Homo-oligomer: A and B are copies of this chain.
């Protein structure tokens, strides 16, 4: 752009040189894209991005997502130049223990990093989620302002590579972004035609721009990643387009201007080598012998981003103060959302259910919980991957989050609505939920069938890694879904989800456990949780006779004590199988065996209890134990011990009425009784 001069040109080249040096020093990493995307990244951070490097958490800031996380240097170098607190020593410490510059960018670790990326495609989903959250938050705080004039209007910028756009999750998210008409989203596609297996001709030949036109995006092409004037104009046009998301298809030469390795797969994921680094420095007019060589006038120039940012933020803060005064209730909500704290007394709204042998499906109970707490928690919103009615995720009467033009006979709503429609896109749903949680203080949930947690697993893992408080409403949680058969019946999913560090997996046994589970999940603000909910009705236990469902919050509790108070055997279960344990207890007690039933809805919460409580629930002296759960046995040995027995399912289900399946697969009170007798 016209405003850029010689120092800017030198700063861009400095970015390239630092990227080469940093990778060369540690001996591994990804220099190529950081070199070829340096002009674009510099233009963004120094001119277009609304940010204040001295306050990375500023509410009014734009967001930047580097979807190709392997090119972390693209971001780290700009954070260094713009003055986020990263210094040359941090770049020197790239990819080493304890550094602020890990191999892939990690949120909550390095100031200025907005999301953890690396698994390709996720960042595109995150960016779409951020853009959606920005709109929803604006609707909560400032729905009246004209377009582009709200304190809460800002732009989400993202960079994506060939690999990002080959991944299905980015396609899913981009299609939804088109339907959602996300005018606050700008995606730069680094079209360098090189991936790890070298030229993309062998596997990726589609017309990406045309694909994005098909999604309903505003598409621009810039043919040379070194042409800052063209890029500047494209950024301006993208920002001006507020009715559609924008993509800029940007042709770059990976590793530019390395004389031998530019435009090769070798520049993608390996150090260039000393000779090539030196040769490149010569091309750029840098001293080939110097490393991490930054001219003082360059860094002085680029760090002016701090002043500019502070000025912009000061102006914003002034308007913000006026807004706070004019809208004290909204300001209080924003303040509460910033700490993710809940309003006093909110939980009083939670429903409870009387004892009922016929009972209610826990998915239905979950829907009733949502309906009850929606008025208390405006920050709560969510939806489903096209299974709203099955997942019970849509609260009646609430508006859909859709452009007004997309309303249907069944779903009315508007751009600030509350019910999300993800389409049949579980993976994007997960990545979008992450973006929503990263953006601000709303609490989002998303539903699908438990078996399709497999489809979204890449995003669930990142939620756990990033400690994001998103909630998965996974219904149809066992062979209990019946006729849809083995493709739809989760068997191994309990174990597979419990294996993810940092994810709470919760499988309530009845409606009242479901309410306490939701309460506990919402009280946690530092981790994701997944609810496994039944399709079929489950009896609502008589809490006058059995223990209170409050024990759910501890992850496990004595639901029914042995008649003598001293159990001879303990039966453990989760979800729909707890009723089997309860029935087995009746048989055993009738036969003279004092039997305790422990409901264990969340292993992670139970593990957090102190040893005394855990041993109170599962006394080490009682070694006769039986678990019952309609899933693979994996993990249960920790609870039942060497002497225990595990009643589970180590094979796939079948298509039939669920009552028939439980019978045929031996998930019955009789089987539990027999196992208990063996264990004793």
Q: Is the interface of A mostly helix, strand, loop or mixed?
A: loop
Docked complex Cα distance between A263 and B393 (Å): 23
CB within 8 A of A106: which of B198, B205, B423, B485? B485
Most chain B beta carbons < 10 A, residue from A70, A407, A410, A458: A458
* A680 at the binding interface (Cβ < 8 Å): no
* A214 at the binding interface (Cβ < 8 Å): yes
Q: Please give the count of copies of this chain that the complex contains.
A: 2
The segment out of A229-237, A325-333, A498-506 that lies at the interface is: A498-506
* A495 at the binding interface (Cβ < 8 Å): yes
* A171 at the binding interface (Cβ < 8 Å): yes
Most chain B beta carbons < 10 A, residue from A103, A207, A635: A103
Docked complex Cα distance between A388 and B265 (Å): 12
Residues A498 and B634 in contact in the complex (CB < 8 Å), given A202-B408, A411-B197: yes
CB within 8 A of A103: which of B170, B388, B488, B660? B488
CB within 8 A of A465: which of B99, B425, B487, B660? B487
Minimal beta-carbon separation of A216 from chain B (angstroms): 6
* A163 at the binding interface (Cβ < 8 Å): yes
Residues A202 and B172 in contact in the complex (CB < 8 Å), given A104-B655, A652-B501: no
Would you call A202 and B421 a contact (CB within 8 A)?
A: yes
Residues A103 and B411 in contact in the complex (CB < 8 Å), given A203-B421, A386-B196, A457-B457: no
Chain B residue numbers with a CB within 8 Å of A487 are 69, 104, 116-119, 462, 465
* A486 at the binding interface (Cβ < 8 Å): yes
Would you call B484 and A103 a contact (CB within 8 A)?
A: yes
Would you call A214 and B216 a contact (CB within 8 A)?
A: no
The segment out of A130-138, A173-181, A301-309 that lies at the interface is: A173-181
Would you call B485 and A410 a contact (CB within 8 A)?
A: no
* A576 at the binding interface (Cβ < 8 Å): no
Would you call B95 and A656 a contact (CB within 8 A)?
A: yes
Would you call B428 and A168 a contact (CB within 8 A)?
A: yes
* A389 at the binding interface (Cβ < 8 Å): yes
CB interface residues, A 165-209, toward B, < 8 Å: 166-172, 175-176, 178-179, 195-209
Chain B residue numbers with a CB within 8 Å of A29 are 483
Docked complex Cα distance between A427 and B426 (Å): 13
Minimal beta-carbon separation of A530 from chain B (angstroms): 14
CB within 8 A of A205: which of B216, B452, B638, B655? B216
Minimal beta-carbon separation of A20 from chain B (angstroms): 17
* A390 at the binding interface (Cβ < 8 Å): yes
A98-141 vs B, Cβ < 8 Å mask (1 yes, 0 no):
11001110100000000011111100000000000000000000
* A336 at the binding interface (Cβ < 8 Å): no
| With A197-B388, A454-B461, A634-B634 already in contact, 9 other A-B pairs whose C-beta atoms are closer than 8 Å | A69-B487, A97-B660, A98-B656, A104-B487, A119-B451, A168-B172, A199-B410, A202-B407, A203-B425
